[in-house]
Amino acid sequence: MPRLDKETDLEYKRRVIDIKSASFCGAKWYNATIWLGSGQTTSCHHPLPHAIDVDAIRTNPSAIHNTVKKKMEREQMQKGERPAGCEYCWKIEDIGRDNISDRVYKTVIYSDEDLAYAQRTPASTDINLQTLEIAFDRTCQFACSYCNPAFSSTWVKDIKQHGPYTQLVSDGRNHFTHAHDNSQLYKFGETNPYVEAFHSWWETDLHKTLKELRITGGEPLMSAETWKLIDWFKTNRGKSTTRLAINSNLGTAVDIDRLLAAVDGVEVDLYTSNEAVGLQAEYIRDGLVFDDWANNVERLLDSGRFRGLHVMCTVNALCLDSLDSFLDMVMNWKLEYGRDAINFSLNILRFPSFQSLTLLPRDIRQRYAGKLYRFANDWLKFDLMHEYEKNQLDRLLDYIDVVMKPHTEAMEQVTLQRDFKNFYTQYDQRRNKNFAETFPALADWYKDL
């Protein structure tokens, strides 16, 4: 274990990180998200993605991770300088001297020896990844309201058919105004050099060093590359100790029979997303048939073929109306299949900011907090929740509570609410949906926006 027994985050930071430099972060060396469709990478979810040099990967496939930019940033971190793209962490640390930012959590997962190696090794050296999230392409049969065309081919169709969403003042990065054609540089059937480089690196080195490989999308189970990789694990059993994890929306089009057959004998964690029930879930995650999703989850649970099944809840303004009922459902699965058979995480949505729960008025948020307290009261008496699930529930309740305090940026709130109305008015027209009928508890507030 990289962390000593009972060592606090701050003690760990002082013992391992601060002695290296004032800005060291293990993720810059050992972690990456790589979008092979767009040829982009980043060290964690906070810095903006940057382009991978397509010429460099022809001779050095590890350059899909070891980009010139990352090497420059590693050098900065070795010297204690702050890479600008990591602003998310610097902002948190600048609030108070001992504030713990994500760079501590993203560093603690690696061994002290590997971190020492990162600090003393010339920044020009290529580093083998230990944790990797990879997307082969953006093919997806869903077009969730908080997603955008960069990650979903169905979102691309929405924009191509109906044109850009208009009057979204807070959409500074223009997520909803164009089809993000640069997210899919190569057509289907064309050779994608980034995908080729990944396979080449995987075959030669990466499968020996990588501890965790998470395949994301789009919907990864709609990509032939995902099946190819699962197959690699099956035919090369024992050759790699990499933990394989797959994100899937488990929608109607996902071939569950094929999935169950493919993972037989392969250790896989499956991550799926949802955060509401019934028509509300189908409204938020457009393309979802809620009952099919629930049946698919039960089929996976019945099969017992997955090392872990994880439900990721993206907590947004709309899901709070039925998040408690959704979590009841997950807890009932725990009751039936066991505490470890299925887990949940509560990830608070920050972008698009006009879908954040912070724009809901105080009385509505209070009501929703009450529903979650009811959920906690009902279930905490059973020993079914993991510590991190309880912590995330506490964090969400704290978050709802904090944003209940008078808002100092009222103008911003008004702008976000206006964007919320403008977005969902267009979403209803394009997707043949009805906000007020789907969310009656929000209908009066929505009408007056």
Q: Check binding of 89 to ligand SF4 (CB under 6 A).
A: yes
Q: What stretches of 163-242 show up as alpha helix (H) in DSSP? A: 193-201, 207-209, 224-235
Nearer to ligand SF4, 212 or 292 (CB): 212
Choose among 226, 249, 180: nearest CA to 38: 180
Nearest distance in Å: CB 47, ligand SF4: 5
Nearest distance in Å: CB 14, ligand SF4: 17
Nearer to ligand SF4, 86 or 342 (CB): 86
Q: How many whole angstroms separate alpha carbon 300 and alpha carbon 308?
A: 10
Choose among 19, 85, 84, 83: nearest CA to 48: 85
Nearer to ligand SF4, 128 or 415 (CB): 128
Nearer to ligand SF4, 106 or 138 (CB): 106
Q: Check binding of 13 to ligand SF4 (CB under 6 A).
A: no
Nearer to ligand SF4, 102 or 205 (CB): 102
Nearer to ligand SF4, 102 or 292 (CB): 102
Nearest distance in Å: CB 88, ligand SF4: 5
Nearest distance in Å: CB 101, ligand SF4: 6
Q: Which two tokens stand for residue 118?
A: 């990162």
Q: Which of 50, 56, 60, 88 binds ligand SF4 (CB under 6 A)?
A: 88
Q: Do residues 209 and 110 make contact, with C-beta atoms less than 8 angstroms apart? A: no
Q: How many whole angstroms separate alpha carbon 109 and alpha carbon 127?
A: 16
Q: On the CB side of 278, how many CA atoms lie within 13 Å of its CA? A: 8
Q: Which of 16, 52, 63, 86 binds ligand SF4 (CB under 6 A)?
A: 86
Nearer to ligand SF4, 44 or 262 (CB): 44
Nearest distance in Å: CB 26, ligand SF4: 8
Nearest distance in Å: CB 65, ligand SF4: 13
Nearest distance in Å: CB 161, ligand SF4: 36
Nearer to ligand SF4, 89 or 179 (CB): 89
Q: How many whole angstroms separate alpha carbon 412 and alpha carbon 408?
A: 9
Residues 100 to 129: which contact ligand SF4 by CB under 6 A?
102-103, 106
Nearer to ligand SF4, 240 or 345 (CB): 345
Q: Do residues 307 and 288 make contact, with C-beta atoms less than 8 angstroms apart? A: no
Q: How many whole angstroms separate alpha carbon 204 and alpha carbon 112?
A: 26
Choose among 167, 175, 177, 179: nearest CA to 416: 167
Q: Do residues 182 and 38 make contact, with C-beta atoms less than 8 angstroms apart? A: yes
Q: Do residues 314 and 275 make contact, with C-beta atoms less than 8 angstroms apart? A: yes
Nearest distance in Å: CB 308, ligand SF4: 24
Q: What stretches of 304-439 show up as alpha helix (H) in DSSP? A: 323-337, 362-379, 387-402, 410-431, 435-438
Q: How many of the chain's residues bind ligand SF4 (CB under 6 A)?
A: 13
User: Could you give the C-alpha distances from 230 to 18, 151, 284, 296, 310, in angstroms and in order?
Assistant: 40, 22, 30, 19, 18
Q: Which of 16, 17, 25, 108 binds ligand SF4 (CB under 6 A)?
A: 25
Q: Which of 28, 65, 175, 214 binds ligand SF4 (CB under 6 A)?
A: 28
Residues 409 to 448: which contact ligand SF4 by CB under 6 A?
none
Nearer to ligand SF4, 27 or 244 (CB): 27
End-to-end CA distance of the chain: 52
Q: Which residue is nearest to ligand SF4 (CB)?
A: 86
Residues 333 to 392: which contact ligand SF4 by CB under 6 A?
none
Nearest distance in Å: CB 44, ligand SF4: 3
Quote the DSSP letter at residue 344: E
Q: How many whole angstroms separate alpha carbon 164 and alpha carbon 147?
A: 15
Residue 49, classified by CB atoms within 10 Å of its CB into exposed (0-12), middle (13-18) or buried (19+), is middle
Site string (33-72) toward ligand SF4, x via CB under 6 A:
----------xx-xx-------------------------
Nearer to ligand SF4, 103 or 175 (CB): 103
Q: Three-state DSSP class for 67?
A: coil
Q: Check binding of 27 to ligand SF4 (CB under 6 A).
A: yes
Which stretches of the chain bind ligand SF4, using CB under 6 A? Answer: 25, 27-28, 43-44, 46-47, 86, 88-89, 102-103, 106
